[in-house]
Each structure stands twice: as C-alpha cells, then as structure tokens.
Amino acid sequence: MSEYKNRAIVLKKRPQGEIQQGDLVLEDRPARAPQDGEVMVKVLWLSLDPYMRPRMNNAKGYMDPIAIDDPIVGESVARVVESRSDKFSVGDLVTCYSGWQEYVTFPGDAPMVYKIRQKDNVPLQAYLGVAGMPGRTGYCGLMYVGKPKAGETVVVSAASGPVGTVVGQTAKAEGCRVVGVAGGAEKCSFVVNELGFDACVDYKAGNLEADLTAACPDGIDIYFENVGGAVTRAVAPLLNPGARVPICGYVSAYNATNMAAVETPFDVLKTLDPVPEHRFFLVTEWQDKHREVTDVLASRVASGELKYRETVAEGLESAVEAFKGMLKGQNFGKQLVHISD
C-alpha cells in the first residue's frame, strides 16, 4: 500500500446532454506504489479542455470513450514523488495525462510524458495552456494547416481562450489581419486591447453576420474553427477563393443529446461553391515537434510577446462545476484546476 491518499473524479453515468448530478463523482481511490521502472506523481495543476466532453459519450470518435468507473481524462502538471525508473528523479516536474485525480503511477517510458524545462517568467500552469497542448494546437493548426501569408485575413472563434489566443497572436506575428469572435464585451475588449487583434465580434450581441462582414471587408482567407454552429454559418459566405479552414473542434455541439443530428462545420462548408480547403486535425500529428513548439511558445510567454488569461478553480472537488461552466463559456481564458503546490 502507498502512503499517499488519492482522490479521483470518475465517470459513473454517461451524460445525456448537459452533465447532471451523479454523472461524475469524486471518490477515494488507492494510490498504487510504483513497481520497477515506474514513477508516482502528485498532480499540481489540472487542465480542463472541451475535448473531454465527447469522450464521456459511448461513441467511437477520434479517441476512445472513457470507461465507466474510470477517472475523467485530462492533462496535468505533476511532480514526481517516488521513482523506480532511471528516466525520472524525485522532484522532476512533468506534463502527463494523469486524468482527474491527485496521484497517478505509470511506467517511466509511458507516452505523452514530458519533463518541463521551465523558463523564467513562465508559470508552471502555462505549460497546460498557451505553452502547452492548447497553445501547440493553435500554433500547429494555424501554421501547418492554415498556412498564413502576410496580408491575409484570419478569423478565429473562441478568441479569448488558450487556442484562439495563440492563433490570433501568431497570425499577427505573421503579418495577417486578425479578427476574433468571442462572447461578451469584456472578452472582445481583451482580445483587441490586450492581445492586439484588429477586431473582435461579440457573438452574443445579436448582430453576428453584419458585425463579422463589417470586420472582414476583404473577406476571410483562414477561419480557425473552434465552436461551430452559428459562427460557422456566419463565416461561410465570407470565405475567399483559396480559403483554408483548420477544424480544431466545435464546442457549441458538445452538450447535444444526439451528436448524430448535429450540423457540423463539415456540413456547412461542403455546401459552398467552391468548397474551401478544410480538415479536422489533432495536435498529435506534430508530436515530433512537441519540444520545438513548446519552446517557441514558452519563450514568447517569457518575453511578454504572448499574452493570455486564466480562470483557476481551487481543489479537485471544484473540477466538475468548472468544467460545466467552461462548456458554456463562463470561463475567461484557459480553465485550470489548482490541486496542490
């Protein structure tokens, strides 16, 4: 038996639409002592990301569903507290897919575990946000799927979140005109005045199509898709010949009771003539660039060039409500859970 007491949030019932009481439950779970070649880590920061919601459904997607009674999937920043592996020492800081729990044990050669090479002026939790998986997603999706050219107009939805934040600021650095779409005047003000976008359209203001058209007088060359739904429908008629649409996700549909009946960005884009270049992508396509892109983004955070916001919930017990709020856009910037120092 391990000396550590672990708690985990596990999937008890598959949500039907929005997450309800009893779907996700906080339980005491044993912390397994490491065997030869293994390490045990203590979770310090937990990342909450929209992709976790579809994985709670019993439907085969680009990743397997979470099994009933298993912890909810998720990436964390963690500290090694016991090591029987020559790859890690006690005290090492890592990013790993621990799931929603306080301790986890895994092989020293487990995939998707990376030592953090922390830079000065870069907080640890940033390695889960703009210098982490969401940041790499935004950077790689824009640069390798969107392929921006100076002078083009780039539109990104969920512009104040960690993915949109990186997409927009990277596109500006590439010489593009950048227009964000976000929910509420406060987020739109942040996107323009702090992140440096050229414009930001408030989708909650009731004039989405007209406001987007006014913000994009020369049409749209790249649309970075995060939300789907009404935003995609508003973007579609403004796409220029030769436009590219990297599809990261469409969070507006993630609480749907019947995902098969949802109008996806693919449905909207395929009605256009000509059909724009578009595809769904996963950041793991560029896993070989993990270190390189992380270092680029962390350096930009350290220099103050890459700006961002965070919303922090305290304690594992707060994760479910924070996650539900994030799916409704109630967070500002990256949603994190602070577990331990």
**Quick one: pLDDT band at residue 274, thresholds 50, 70, 90?**
very high
d(Cα 304, Cα 298) in Å, to the nearest integer?
10
Largest CA distance in the chain: 65
Burial track 167-183 (b if 16+ CB lie within 10 A, e otherwise)? bbbbbbebebbbbbbbb
**Quick one: pLDDT band at residue 24, thresholds 50, 70, 90?**
very high
SS (H, E, C) the chain: CCCCEEEEEEECCCCCCCCCCCCEEEEEEECCCCCCCEEEEEEEEEECCHHHCHHHCCCCCCCCCCCCCCECCCCEEEEEEEECCCCCCCCCEEEECCCCECEEEEECCCCCCEECCCCCCCCHHHHHCCCCHHHHHHHHHHHHHHCCCCCCEEEEECCCCHHHHHHHHHHHHCCCEEEEEECCHHHHHHHHHCCCCCEEEECCCCCHHHHHHHHCCCCEEEEEECCCCHHHHHHHHHEEEEEEEEECCCHHHCCCCCHHHCCCHHHHHCCCCCCCEEEECCHHHHHHHHHHHHHHHHHHHHHCCCCCCEEEEECHHHHHHHHHHHHCCCCCCEEEEECCC
Question: Within 10 A of 88 (CB to CB), how many other CB atoms are there?
Answer: 19
Question: Which pLDDT value is given to residue 255?
Answer: 73
Q: Is pLDDT at 249 greater than 90 in this prediction?
A: no
CATH 3.90.180.10 fits 5-129+308-338, yes or no: yes
Please answer whether residues 300 and 276 qualify as being in contact, where contact means their C-beta atoms are separated by less than 8 angstroms.
no
Average pLDDT score over residue span 196-203: 98
Question: Which pLDDT value is given to residue 3?
Answer: 81
pLDDT tens digits, one per residue of 26-68: 999 999 999 999 999 999 999 999 889 999 998 776 678 999 9
Question: Which pLDDT value is given to residue 258?
Answer: 74
Q: In which residue ranges of the chain is CATH 3.40.50.720 found? A: 137-284
d(Cα 138, Cα 165) in Å, to the nearest integer?
8
pLDDT tens digits, one per residue of 64-105: 899 999 999 999 999 999 999 999 999 999 999 999 999 999
The closest of 328, 341, 265, 252 to 48, measured between CA atoms, is: 328
d(Cα 159, Cα 329) in Å, to the nearest integer?
11
Tell me the Ramachandran region of residue 189: left when phi exceeds 0, alpha when psi lies from -120 to 50, beta otherwise. Answer: alpha
pLDDT tens digits, one per residue of 130-166: 999 999 999 999 999 999 999 999 999 999 999 999 9
d(Cα 265, Cα 244) in Å, to the nearest integer?
13
The CATH class given to the 137-284 domain equals alpha beta
**Quick one: pLDDT band at residue 2, thresholds 50, 70, 90?**
low
> Model's pTM, two decimal places?
0.91
Average pLDDT score over residue span 221-248: 97
Share of the chain above pLDDT 90, in %: 90
